[in-house]
Amino acid sequence: MGRKRTCELPFCKGVVEGTRNKRRCDNDRNIHLHQIISKNVKKIMKYVEGCEDFTANDVNRDLFKSKLDKNEKGSMYRLFQAMVREGYLLERGKRGGLKVYACSPSAGETAEEIASEPTNPVVQAPAAPVVERRLSPEEILLGKLREFVYLKSGQWNHDDWVWLLNRPDIKEYGLSESDIGRILEEEKARFWLQRNS
């Protein structure tokens, strides 16, 4: 097990543990960043703050010269999803089959300000109340199932299926196996359509 350290995401105060190649934040089990992504979080944030909107492929092309493999791209996708959950990014539909993101107007700090912050956090009152849209339970479940399809590259076996059904964060929604299977098949079809287009 690697050494513990604080999460690279400026909006997260969790502790990161993991191996040399993969790190997971204890505050959010969905944040599982590969080394190349975790080392470049501030660089990615600076890039996205300078864009009107962007896709994961734009970031891969411009910052990483299109050298990220599918696992590292998945890691970057999870980073963006965490940023959406925290209100740092907004989703703006799709372009070329990929999600389009934009920096939230309420993401007040820039990457430079985050980089120059003192290591001892100072509690400050927010400048103005931020009204952000909370995801419905259906949207959260759909996101988890979509992430499963994405991480399995559109292919999974019976053991993967049983593991998914037994996950507590999936069970809590009370959907039947057939409903979950139907949603997965829809997301699988969408995944392959995007990949082949």
92 domain residue, yes or no: no
* Spans of the chain below 70 pLDDT: 1-34, 106-132
Range of the domain at 179: 133-197
**Residue 45 token pair:** 């944030």
Q: What share of the chain is helix, strand, coil (3-state, %, to 5)?
A: 45, 15, 40
186 domain residue, yes or no: yes
181 domain residue, yes or no: yes
pLDDT at 175 (0 to 100): 87
**Residue 94 token pair:** 């799709």
The domain tally of the chain equals 1
pLDDT at 135 (0 to 100): 77
Q: Which residues are registered as beta bridge partners of 32?
A: 24
167 domain residue, yes or no: yes
pLDDT, tens digit (0-9, with 9 covering 90-100), for 25-37 = 555 544 556 677 7
145 domain residue, yes or no: yes
pLDDT at 58 (0 to 100): 87
**Residue 35 token pair:** 């080394």
pLDDT at 60 (0 to 100): 86
Residues 75, 128: Cα–Cα separation, whole Å: 32
pLDDT at 127 (0 to 100): 60
**Residue 188 token pair:** 């699988």
17 domain residue, yes or no: no
154 domain residue, yes or no: yes
164 domain residue, yes or no: yes
Quote the pTM value: 0.46
